[in-house]
A and B are shown apart, each in its own frame.
Chain A
Amino acid sequence: MFRNYLKITLRNLWNNKSYSFINIVGLAFGLASCIIILLYVNNELSYDKHHKKADRIARVASFIDFSGSYLELATTSAPMGPTLRNDYTEVEDMVRFRPRGEFLVRSGDINIKESDIIFSDPSVFNVFTIPVIHGNAETALLEPYTLALSRSKALKYFGTEYVVGKTLLLDDDQTFEITAVYEDMPETSHFNFEFLLSMETNADEANNGVWISNNFRTYLLLKEGTDLNAFEENFKSIKKTYIEPQLIQFTGNTLEDFQEAGNSIEYELQPLTDIHLYSDLVAEFEPNGNIKYVFLFSGLAGFILILACINFMNLSTARSVKRAKEVGIRKTLGSVRKQLVTQFFTESILLCLFSFLIALLIVELTLPFFSNLSGTNLISNYFSNTNLILSIAGIVLLTGLLSGSYPAVMLSGFQPIKVLKGVLDKGTSRFRSLLVVFQFSVSLVVIIGLLVINKQLDFIQNQSLGFQKEQTVIIHDAYTLDTNLNVYKEELLKEPEFKNATISSYLPVSGFSMNDQTFWPKGDDPVQGNTSSSQVWRVDTDYIPTLGMEIIEGRNFSEDRGADENTVILNEALANRFGFEEPLGEVITTFTQRPDGSFDTENLLEFTVIGIVKNFHFRSLKENIAPLGLFKGNSRGNVIFKIDSQDAGTALAKLENSWKEMAPGQPFNYSFLDERFDRMYRTENRVSNLVFAFSVLIIIIACLGLFGLSAYSAEQRTKEIGIRKVLGASVSGIVSLVSKDFLKLILISFLIAAPVGYFIMQQWLKEFTYKTNIGFDVFLISGIGIILIASITVSWQSIKAALTNPVKSLKSE
Chain B
Amino acid sequence: MIKLRNIDRYIDKRLQRNFILKGIDLDIAEGDFISIMGPSGAGKSTLLNIIGFLDDANEGEYYFLDEPVHGLNEKQKSEYHRSYIGFVFQAYHLIDELTVYENIEMPLLYRKVKGSQRKSMVADMLDRFNIVAKKDLFPNQLSGGQQQLVGVARALIGSPKLILADEPTGNLHSDQSKEIMETFKKLNKEDGVTIIQVTHSDEMASYGDRIINLQDGAVTENNPYEEE
Question: Which A residues are closer than 8 A to B by beta carbons?
Answer: 1, 4, 7-8, 11-12, 15, 325-326, 328-337, 339, 416-417, 420
Q: Are B74 and A15 in contact (CB under 8 A)?
A: no
Q: Are B97 and A336 in contact (CB under 8 A)?
A: no
Q: Are B89 and A335 in contact (CB under 8 A)?
A: no
Closest to A338 in B: B75
Closest to A322 in B: B96
A332-B54, A334-B81 are known contacts. Are A7 and B102 too (CB-CB below 8 A)? yes
Output the residue of A11, A329, A330, A334 with the most chain B CB within 10 A: A334
A8-B95, A417-B54 are known contacts. Are A334 and B89 too (CB-CB below 8 A)? no
User: Hey, what's the 0/1 contact readout for B62-99 against A, CB within 8 Å counting as 1?
Assistant: 00000000000011001111110001010101111110
Q: Are A1 and B109 in contact (CB under 8 A)?
A: yes
Closest to A329 in B: B93
Residues of chain B within 8 A of A8, CB atoms compared: 95, 97-98
Q: Are A333 and B89 in contact (CB under 8 A)?
A: no
Smallest CB separation, B25 vs chain A (Å): 23
A1-B109, A7-B98, A416-B54 are known contacts. Are A336 and B78 too (CB-CB below 8 A)? yes
Q: In the complex, how many residues of chain B place their beta carbon closer than 8 angstroms to a beta carbon of chain A?
A: 29
Complex Cα spacing A328 to B81, Å: 12
Residues of chain B within 8 A of A339, CB atoms compared: 110
Closest to B93 in A: A329
Closest to A13 in B: B97
A1-B109, A4-B106, A416-B54 are known contacts. Are A335 and B98 too (CB-CB below 8 A)? no
Check: B38 CB closer than 8 A to any chain A CB. Answer: no
Q: Are B54 and A333 in contact (CB under 8 A)?
A: no
Complex Cα spacing A325 to B81, Å: 17
Complex Cα spacing A277 to B167, Å: 72
Check: B186 CB closer than 8 A to any chain A CB. Answer: no
Question: Which B residues are closer than 8 A to A by beta carbons?
Answer: 49, 52, 54-55, 74-75, 78-83, 87, 89, 91, 93-98, 102, 106-107, 109-111, 154, 158
Q: Are A325 and B106 in contact (CB under 8 A)?
A: no
Q: Are B97 and A333 in contact (CB under 8 A)?
A: no
Q: Are A337 and B74 in contact (CB under 8 A)?
A: yes
Complex Cα spacing A416 to B154, Å: 17
Residues of chain B within 8 A of A336, CB atoms compared: 74-75, 78
Q: Are A335 and B110 in contact (CB under 8 A)?
A: yes
Complex Cα spacing A396 to B91, Å: 39
Q: Are A333 and B98 in contact (CB under 8 A)?
A: no
Q: Are B110 and A325 in contact (CB under 8 A)?
A: no
Smallest CB separation, B140 vs chain A (Å): 10
Smallest CB separation, B57 vs chain A (Å): 13
Residues of chain A within 8 A of B102, CB atoms compared: 4, 7
Q: Are A334 and B110 in contact (CB under 8 A)?
A: yes
Q: Are A333 and B49 in contact (CB under 8 A)?
A: no
**Main DSSP-derived SS at the A contact region:** helix
Complex Cα spacing A451 to B109, Å: 57
Q: Are B107 and A334 in contact (CB under 8 A)?
A: yes
Smallest CB separation, A316 vs chain B (Å): 15
Complex Cα spacing A620 to B124, Å: 84
A339-B110, A417-B55, A420-B89 are known contacts. Are A332 and B98 too (CB-CB below 8 A)? no
Residues of chain A within 8 A of B87, CB atoms compared: 332-333
Smallest CB separation, A332 vs chain B (Å): 5
Output the residue of B55, B74, B106 with the most chain A CB within 10 A: B106
Residues of chain B within 8 A of A15, CB atoms compared: 96-97
Complex Cα spacing A332 to B83, Å: 11
A332-B87, A333-B110 are known contacts. Are A326 and B78 too (CB-CB below 8 A)? no
Residues of chain B within 8 A of A4, CB atoms compared: 98, 102, 106, 109
Closest to A2 in B: B109
Complex Cα spacing A335 to B95, Å: 14
Complex Cα spacing A332 to B95, Å: 12
| CB-CB nearest 7 A-B residue pairs | A334-B82, A334-B81, A11-B97, A334-B110, A336-B78, A417-B54, A333-B107
Residues of chain A within 8 A of B95, CB atoms compared: 8, 325-326, 329-330
Residues of chain A within 8 A of B78, CB atoms compared: 331, 334-336
Complex Cα spacing A325 to B96, Å: 10
Specify which of A1, A12, A328, A332 is in contact with B52 (CB 8 Å cutoff): A332
Smallest CB separation, A462 vs chain B (Å): 60
Residues of chain B within 8 A of A11, CB atoms compared: 97-98
Q: A8-B97, A332-B52, A337-B74 provided; 6 other pairs, C-beta below 8 A?
A: A8-B95, A330-B106, A333-B82, A334-B80, A334-B82, A420-B89
Complex Cα spacing A336 to B52, Å: 15
Residues of chain B within 8 A of A334, CB atoms compared: 78-83, 107, 110-111, 158
Q: Are B74 and A7 in contact (CB under 8 A)?
A: no
Residues of chain A within 8 A of B111, CB atoms compared: 334
Output the residue of B79, B81, B91 with the most chain A CB within 10 A: B81
Closest to B97 in A: A11
Q: Are A7 and B106 in contact (CB under 8 A)?
A: no
Residues of chain B within 8 A of A12, CB atoms compared: 97
Output the residue of A1, A11, A339 with the most chain B CB within 10 A: A11
Closest to A9 in B: B97
Return 16 A-B CB contacts under 8 Å, by A number: A4-B102, A4-B106, A7-B98, A8-B95, A12-B97, A15-B97, A325-B95, A329-B94, A333-B81, A333-B106, A333-B154, A334-B80, A334-B107, A334-B110, A334-B158, A335-B110
Complex Cα spacing A337 to B73, Å: 12
Smallest CB separation, A328 vs chain B (Å): 7
Smallest CB separation, B49 vs chain A (Å): 5
Q: Are A332 and B81 in contact (CB under 8 A)?
A: yes
